[in-house]
Amino acid sequence: MVTMEKGDDAPILRCEDISLRFGGVNALLDITFEVNKGEILSIIGPNGAGKTCIINTITGFYHPWQGKIYFKEREITGLPPHKICKLGIARTFQNIELFTGLSVLDNLLAARHLRLKPNLLSNAIYFGLAQREEIKERRIVEDIIDFLEMEAIRKQEVKTLPYGQRKRVELGRALALEPEVMLLDEPTAGMNVEEKEEMVRFILDINEERGTTIVLIEHDMDIVMDISERVIVFDFGNKIAEGLPKEITKDERVIKAYLGEK
């Protein structure tokens, strides 16, 4: 487990002048922001503001038309998703993207694949090296199952699970990558109050106990104001505000973007 102290000087993730276009549509315009090590940063904004776009751009699913992205001061712009993932940036999806035909356990183990050191010979023999490696991976995955309280569904196929639990599995899969930064795209969407509380507790625990930096896209303002250290507000592909939660709630532009003109 990687534990980091909060407040290291250099930002762990930095976006510089990111612009993203689809045809003539500007999805993102000159977006610049930094994510500090160990913080919980929320990105909020109305639908279509470009929140998911920025996550897709950071994780390499979209390539920005202009601008640069740095992870731990290393440029990662244009790298393919799997490489970015390997560097230590994991994400969850707004519309759950799991292997529905696999069990919860296998979904998490699949994520561990990235950290495996395959060797044709030892894998063919299995006993010895490969077996030890498998036990090690299983232990890590079982820790996550314990952490997210998924013991009872460990062997169930994902397609048989209700929505709230799938969200949890997806969080687990992201966690299995042992990332330094986790980008969570609306982790509590469509959940009831109790499920939301549980999810928030998990996010806080991940942040506190594992020291993972969290970037959170979220619509529930109570959650955002409650757990984030800083908030960034998007509107029509622009970053219109950035600051502490209590500053954001008073910001004129934010109120306008959310509630319209007076």
Partner 1 sequence: MVALQPSDMDTYPKFLVRNRQIWREKVALRRKDRGIWQNYTWEDCYAQVEQVCLGLAQLGLKPGDKVSLIGDDEPEGFWAEAAIQSAGGIVVAMWSDSIASEAAYIINHSDSRFVIAEDQEQVDKILEIQRDIPKVQKVIYWDQKGMRKYDDPILMSYDELKGLGKTYGDGHPGIFEQFVTGGKGTDIAQISYTSGTASLPKGAVITHHAIIASSRRMQEFGPLRQGEDVITTLPSASVFHQWFAGYNYLCGAVINFPEEPETLMQDYREISPRFILITPRQWQSLSSMTQIRISDAGFLKGLFCRLFLPVGYKIVDLRASGRRAGLLWKLLYRLGDVLVFGPLRDKLGLIKTKYAATGSAFLSPEFFRFFHAIGIDLIQIYGSIEAGVVSMHPRDDMNIESVGRICNGVKIQISGEQEILVGGETLFSGYYKNPEKNHQVIGDGWFRTGDSGYINDRGHLFYTDRIENLEELSNGHRCRLGYIEGKLQFSRFIKDGMVIGGKKRDYLSAIINIDFDSIGKWAETNQVPYTTFADLSQKEEVTELIRKELQRVNSTLPEGSRIGKFVLLHKEFDADEGELTRTRKLRRAFLQDRYKDLIEAIYGDKKEMPVVTEVRYRDGRRGTIETNLKIRSVYEEMEGNHSEKGKC
Residues 210-239 vs partner 1: string with x where CB under 8 A? ------------------------------
The SS3 of residue 199 is helix
Shortest Cβ 204–partner 1 spacing (Å):
8
Q: Are 235 and 49 in contact (CB under 8 A)?
A: yes
Nearest to 40 by CA among 215, 184, 240, 219: 215
**Residues 53, 59: Cα–Cα separation, whole Å:** 10
Shortest Cβ 211–partner 1 spacing (Å):
10
CB neighbours (10 Å) of residue 21?
A: 14
Please choose, out of 77-85, 148-156, 237-245, 253-261, the segment that lies near partner 1 by the rule CB under 8 A.
148-156
Residue 55 or residue 150: which is nearer to partner 1 going by CB? 150
Q: Using CB under 8 A, pick the residue from 61, 70, 99, 147 that binds partner 1.
A: 147
Shortest Cβ 146–partner 1 spacing (Å):
6
Does the footprint of partner 1 cover residue 146 (CB under 8 A)? Answer: yes
Does the footprint of partner 1 cover residue 208 (CB under 8 A)? Answer: yes
Shortest Cβ 68–partner 1 spacing (Å):
36
Nearest to 140 by CA among 165, 113, 176: 176
Residue 139 or residue 246: which is nearer to partner 1 going by CB? 139
Q: Using CB under 8 A, pick the residue from 8, 17, 75, 205 that binds partner 1.
A: 205
Q: Using CB under 8 A, pick the residue from 72, 154, 157, 251 that binds partner 1.
A: 154
Residue 56 or residue 188: which is nearer to partner 1 going by CB? 188
Give, rounded to a whole angstrom, the gap between the first and last alpha carbons of the chain. 50
**Which parts of the chain fold into alpha helices (H)?**
51-58, 81-87, 104-112, 120-125, 129-147, 163-176, 193-210, 221-227, 245-250, 252-259
**Residues 103, 100: Cα–Cα separation, whole Å:** 8
Shortest Cβ 165–partner 1 spacing (Å):
11
Q: Using CB under 8 A, pick the residue from 113, 201, 253, 256 that binds partner 1.
A: 201
**Residues 80, 82: Cα–Cα separation, whole Å:** 6
Does the footprint of partner 1 cover residue 61 (CB under 8 A)? Answer: no
Nearest to 146 by CA among 205, 92, 97, 95: 205
Residue 125 or residue 152: which is nearer to partner 1 going by CB? 152
Binding interface with partner 1 (CB under 8 A)? 138-139, 142-143, 145-147, 149, 151-152, 154-155, 201, 205, 208-209
